[in-house]
Amino acid sequence: MKAALALFAFAGFAAAAPAGIVVETYGAAAPPAAVDGWPIDWRVHFRSDVFADVTTTPDGGGGVIVFSIPVSVRAIGQGWATWSHGYTGNVFYTNGASSLTIGLSDIHAFQFYAEPNPFGIFQMTAAGSDGATTIAAQQHPDGDSGATGWGFCSWDAHVVSITVESDVDFAVGEFRVGFLTPPAPATLGPFALAGLVAGRRRRTGPSQEVPS
């Protein structure tokens, strides 16, 4: 259940500043159809080159998702044992690394899940940037069927990068992307409309916003 939480101000950054990037967390539940009201209109398609090391993957809109390090293409049941909420597609394993940055272009909304490689519950933080501000949210996914999801959205810019950090190595996957022009304000729900008009950031889970 999403909740509006108080913002934290760091290094003189005012909590009442206009909205920039927004983060949502989903736990192990299936992802919703929108991030902060921005519709998700594309799910990144399956790759057949399982076990290949790659640094990019198509984003579905003519661009690419860029990984800061080579990651190993896996699929649930093919090199990666478990996930959550019935997902069986591709994931990208960090090859032992505990930090990964995902680079994006021309994307307003982006959803992904992450799961630790070891079975067990570990702390994981995802920080998204729109080039001006960075917002982060922390979750504790379980390596045994407990992949947890994040959604990032920027209405007035683009989500340009997401950095995922963990105590252990992990995989990311289940990428879903929002390219389309968002619905007109009259068609938005009251919470999304209030966030657009008043510049209110909404998020769930422990999180923080800092100047980049």
Which tens digits make up the pLDDT trace of 76-111?
999 999 999 999 999 999 999 999 999 999 999 999
The whole-chain average pLDDT of the chain stands at 82
Please give the share of the chain, as a percent, with pLDDT higher than 90: 71
Structure tokens at 152: 């990032």
- β-pair partners for 41: none
pLDDT, residue 197, reads 35
Amino acid at 187: T
Burial class of 126 by CB neighbour count within 10 A (0 to 12, 13 to 18, 19+): buried
pLDDT in tens, 38-71: 999 989 989 999 999 999 999 988 899 999 999 9
pLDDT, residue 7, reads 30
pLDDT, residue 80, reads 98
d(C-alpha 70, C-alpha 47), whole Å: 15
Region 204-209 average pLDDT? 38
Beta strand pairing call for 79-80 and 64-76? parallel
pLDDT for 115 beyond 80:
yes
pLDDT, residue 183, reads 62
The model's confidence at residue 31, banded by pLDDT at 50, 70 and 90, is: very high
Q: Where are the beta strands (DSSP E) in the chain?
A: 21-27, 34-35, 38-39, 42-43, 53-58, 64-76, 79-80, 90-93, 99-103, 109-116, 124-129, 133-139, 148-154, 161-166, 170-178, 207-211
d(C-alpha 69, C-alpha 56), whole Å: 10
pLDDT in tens, 125-152: 999 999 999 999 999 999 999 999 999 9
Beta strand pairing call for 109-116 and 79-80? unpaired
Domain 33-195, what architecture? Sandwich (2.60)
